[in-house]
């Protein structure tokens, strides 16, 4: 099953595949061939080293890089770039990372298999300082139905999350949550991060992905 992802032709960002809306990847999207991930890392080095030696404003600062990487490591995840390079060229690879201040973090990944099916793997990370620290982990590992896949395609298309700038325009706070969406196919990789979004593309996509898990979370903030 094909996801709503465009193809990159050289440096040009082309429109989405036929049947999808005319959304484009953000200029922050990285061609997959250039999305190198060093050993032990989870994110392409361009995100934290910048586009070149003159880029003093990388997408991920040292704290964010370590914070997000720790969650992925605790969840025993692979870099999304690795999933994209191993999967079908036109397959959707999507990950949502939810890092709230007062509840256990969650990592939710939808990957496309070589047979064209979509698999949902969702994990909550137990942390000793959160309000729900004593609750057991509730992992999910199953195939999405065609209806669920269509719903996911629709929210990506409608929200235009792939066309959003990677950097968060808002400053982070002490109490709240970090929402991170990673997306990749055989051609490109993109990361978008937002602090406690009350609406907007990242909120839409993250909420749908949480809904696919079946978890009954008391509060999503």
CB atoms within 10 A of CB 43: 24
Q: Which has more pLDDT, 188 or 170?
A: 188
Q: Whole domain around residue 186: which residue ranges?
A: 17-213
**Most confident option among 15-19, 27-31, 74-78:** 74-78
For residue range 28-50, list pLDDT tens digits in order. 899 999 999 999 999 999 999 87
Residue 132 is predicted with a pLDDT of 63
* Number of domains forming the structure of the chain: 1
3-state DSSP helix/strand/coil percent for the chain, to nearest 5? 25, 20, 50
Residue 9 lies in a domain: no
- Model confidence band, residue 211 (pLDDT cutoffs 50, 70, 90): very high
**Three-state secondary-structure class, residue 60:** coil
Residue 133 burial (10 A CB sphere; 0-12, 13-18, 19+): exposed
Please state the φ and ψ torsions of residue 82, each to the nearest 5 degrees.
-65, -40
DSSP bridge partners of 180: 97, 193
- The answer to whether residues 104 and 69 touch, using CB atoms and an 8 Å cutoff, is no
Residue 141 is predicted with a pLDDT of 97
Please state the separation of Cα 67 from the chain's center in Å. 15
Residue 4 lies in a domain: no
- What's the pTM? 0.85
Residue 199 lies in a domain: yes
């Amino acid at each position: 099953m094909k996801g709503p992802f465009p193809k990159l032709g050289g440096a040009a960002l082309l429109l989405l595949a036929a049947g999808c809306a005319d959304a484009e990847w953000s200029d922050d999207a990285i061609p997959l061939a250039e999305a190198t991930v060093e050993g032990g890392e989870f994110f392409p080095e361009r995100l934290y080293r910048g586009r070149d030696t003159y880029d003093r404003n990388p997408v991920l600062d040292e704290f964010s890089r370590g914070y997000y990487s720790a969650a992925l490591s605790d969840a025993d995840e692979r870099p999304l770039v690795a999933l994209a390079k191993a999967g079908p060229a036109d397959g959707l690879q999507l990950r949502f990372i939810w890092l709230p201040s007062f509840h256990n973090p969650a990592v939710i990944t939808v990957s496309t298999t070589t047979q064209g099916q979509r698999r949902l793997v969702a994990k909550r990370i137990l942390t000793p300082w959160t309000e729900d620290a004593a609750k057991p982990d509730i992992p999910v590992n199953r195939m999405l139905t065609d209806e669920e896949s269509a719903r996911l395609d629709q929210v990506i298309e409608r929200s235009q999350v792939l066309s959003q700038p990677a950097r968060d325009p808002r400053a982070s706070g002490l109490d709240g949550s970090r929402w991170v969406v990673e997306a990749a196919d055989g051609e490109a990789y993109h990361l978008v991060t937002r602090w406690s979004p009350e609406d907007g593309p990242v909120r839409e996509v993250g909420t749908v992905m949480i809904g696919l898990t079946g978890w009954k979370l008391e509060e999503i903030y």
